[in-house]
C-alpha cells in the first residue's frame, strides 16, 4: 500500500509591488548588453554595473570585464562603461586623457543630484550631502566639485553638530537610495538649525526607492517574516530590510539566492512578505519562491503601492548607432 506524502503546510505569501529592477538599473544593464552586441567582447565596466552578484556574473560570462579603477584597463578601443552609481569628474577626465570610448550608464536621477550640487556651488553655497560614506554614489557626487565643497552628513547626530562656514549660504542634497524616514529626520534637524538651508525642488530619493519602501510598509506589519532579495552591498536593498523591521516585521532578512535561506527561521511563519531591491532581477525572486513551494503550499497575493512606467533611454552614443542602423 502506497502511503501518500504528508500534506505540505500552507504559507501565505504577500508579494510586494513594485519590487526589483528600476528604470536606471534596466538602462545600465542594457547599456552593457548593447555594447557587447555592437562591439563584441570585451566591454570594460568600472565598478559593478549594479550591486547584484547574479547580474554581474551573468554579464561577465557574456564578456564584460569589471574593474574598480581605470588604471586596470589596458590601452584599448573597447567600450568602457561607467556604472549606474555615477563617478567623480576625475574618472571621465582620465578616460579622455587615455582616449577611451566611454559609455556613461549613470542613472539619470543620480545625474540630477550631480547637477544640483554644481548649481549650488556656482551660487556660492556650501553643500551638505546626506548619504552613506564610501558608497559609490556618494563618492561620485562628492567628486563633482573641488575637495571640501561638499560635506557628508550620515546621521541625525552629525546633523546636530554640523558647523557650516556660513549658515546663510547652505544647501543640501541626498543619496538617491536612502531610507525616507532616515533622510527626513536628518533634513528636519538641518532645517531646525539652519532655517535658510536650500533643498532640492523635487526630493532626491528616487521614485523606485520610495515606491519599494512604501510597499514594504504596507506588508511588514502583517507578516511573520520578510525576505528582501538583494545583495549586501546594495544600499536600497539594505534600506528595505530596515524599513521592514522599523514597521513591525518580527524577522527581516536580506537574501541573495535560495541557497542562502535559513529554513529554521521560517519554521513557524504563516505569512511571508517578499520584495526585491532595485538591482535584483525577478528571476531571483522566482527562485526563492520556488524553494518555498517545495516545502509549503503557497497562496500568493500581490500588495501594490504604486504603478511604475518610468523609462530611461540608452546613452547617446548607443542611441545614435541604433538610429543609424
CA distances from residue 108 to 28, 54, 55, 114, 130 in whole angstroms, order as listed: 10, 23, 20, 10, 19
In a domain, 145, yes or no: yes
Q: What is the pLDDT of residue 324?
A: 63
Q: What is the pLDDT of residue 16?
A: 98
pLDDT along the chain (325 residues), means of 10: 74 97 96 96 96 95 97 97 96 97 97 97 97 96 96 97 95 95 96 96 89 97 98 94 97 97 96 97 97 97 96 92 67
In a domain, 3, yes or no: no
For residues 78 and 39, the answer to whether their CB atoms sit within 8 Å is yes
Same domain, yes or no: 232 and 282 = yes
Same domain, yes or no: 93 and 159 = no
Give the catalytic positions in this structure.
137
Question: The domain that contains 119 carries what CATH number?
Answer: 3.40.1010.20
Question: HSE of 190 in the Cβ direction (CA atoms, 13 Å)?
Answer: 31
Domain boundary among 193, 215, 246: 193
In a domain, 198, yes or no: no
- With CA atoms as reference, report the closest residue to 152 among 177, 170, 172: 172
pTM, whole model, 2 decimals? 0.92
Q: What is the pLDDT of residue 3?
A: 61
Q: What is the pLDDT of residue 7?
A: 80
Q: What is the pLDDT of residue 159?
A: 98
In a domain, 48, yes or no: yes
Rounded to an integer, what distance in angstroms lies between the CA atom of residue 256 and that of residue 254?
A: 7
Give the per-residue SS3 of the chain.
Answer: CCCCCCCCCEEEEEEEECCCCCHHHHHHHHHHHHHHHHHCCCEEEECCCCCCHHHHHHHHHHCEEEECCHHHCCCCCCEEEECCCCCCCHHHHHHHHCCCEEEECCCHHHHHHHHHHHHHHHCCCEEEEECCCCCHHHHHHHCCCCCCCEEEECCHHHHHHCCCCCCCCEEEEECCCCCHHHHHHHHHHHHHHCCCCECCCCCCCCHHHHHHHHHHHHHHHHCCEEEEECCCCCHHHHHHHHHHHHCCCCCEEEECCHHHCCHHHHCCCCEEEEEECCCCCHHHHHHHHHHHHCCCEEEEEEEECCCCCCCCCCCHHHHHHHHHC
Structural domain boundaries, residue 176: 109-193
In a domain, 232, yes or no: yes
Question: The domain that contains 78 carries what CATH number?
Answer: 3.40.50.11270
In a domain, 213, yes or no: yes
Amino acid at each position: 500500500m502506497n502511503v501518500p506524502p504528508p500534506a505540505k503546510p500552507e504559507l501565505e505569501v504577500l508579494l510586494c509591488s513594485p519590487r526589483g529592477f528600476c528604470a536606471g538599473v534596466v538602462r545600465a544593464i542594457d547599456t552593457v548588453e548593447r555594447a557587447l552586441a555592437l562591439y563584441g567582447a570585451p566591454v570594460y565596466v568600472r565598478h559593478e554595473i549594479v550591486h547584484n552578484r547574479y547580474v554581474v556574473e551573468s554579464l561577465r560570462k557574456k564578456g564584460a570585464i569589471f574593474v574598480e579603477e581605470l588604471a586596470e584597463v589596458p590601452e584599448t578601443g573597447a567600450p568602457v562603461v561607467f556604472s549606474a552609481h555615477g563617478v567623480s569628474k576625475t574618472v571621465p577626465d582620465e578616460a579622455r586623457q587615455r582616449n577611451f570610448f566611454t559609455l556613461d550608464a549613470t542613472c539619470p536621477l543620480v545625474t540630477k543630484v550631480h547637477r544640483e550640487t554644481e548649481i549650488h556651488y556656482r551660487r556660492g553655497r556650501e553643500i551638505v550631502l546626506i548619504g552613506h560614506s564610501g558608497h559609490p554614489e556618494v563618492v561620485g557626487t562628492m567628486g563633482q566639485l573641488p575637495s571640501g565643497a561638499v560635506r557628508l552628513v550620515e546621521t541625525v547626530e552629525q546633523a546636530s553638530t554640523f558647523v557650516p562656514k556660513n549658515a546663510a549660504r547652505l544647501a543640501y542634497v541626498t543619496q538617491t537610495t536612502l531610507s525616507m524616514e532616515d533622510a527626513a529626520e536628518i533634513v528636519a534637524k538641518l532645517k531646525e538649525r539652519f532655517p535658510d538651508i536650500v533643498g532640492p525642488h523635487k526630493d532626491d530619493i528616487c521614485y523606485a526607492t520610495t515606491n519599494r519602501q512604501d510597499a514594504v510598509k504596507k506588508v511588514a506589519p502583517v507578516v511573520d517574516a520578510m525576505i528582501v532579495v538583494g545583495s549586501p552591498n546594495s544600499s536600497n536593498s539594505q534600506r528595505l530590510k530596515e524599513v521592514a523591521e522599523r514597521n513591525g516585521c518580527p524577522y527581516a532578512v536580506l537574501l541573495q539566492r535560495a541557497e542562502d535561506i535559513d529554513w529554521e527561521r521560517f519554521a513557524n511563519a504563516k505569512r511571508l512578505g517578499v520584495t526585491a531591491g532595485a538591482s535584483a532581477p525577478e528571476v531571483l525572486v522566482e527562485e526563492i519562491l520556488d524553494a518555498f513551494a517545495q516545502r509549503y503550499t503557497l497562496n500568493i497575493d500581490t500588495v501594490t503601492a504604486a504603478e511604475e512606467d518610468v523609462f530611461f533611454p540608452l546613452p547617446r552614443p548607443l542611441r545614435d548607432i541604433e538610429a543609424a542602423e
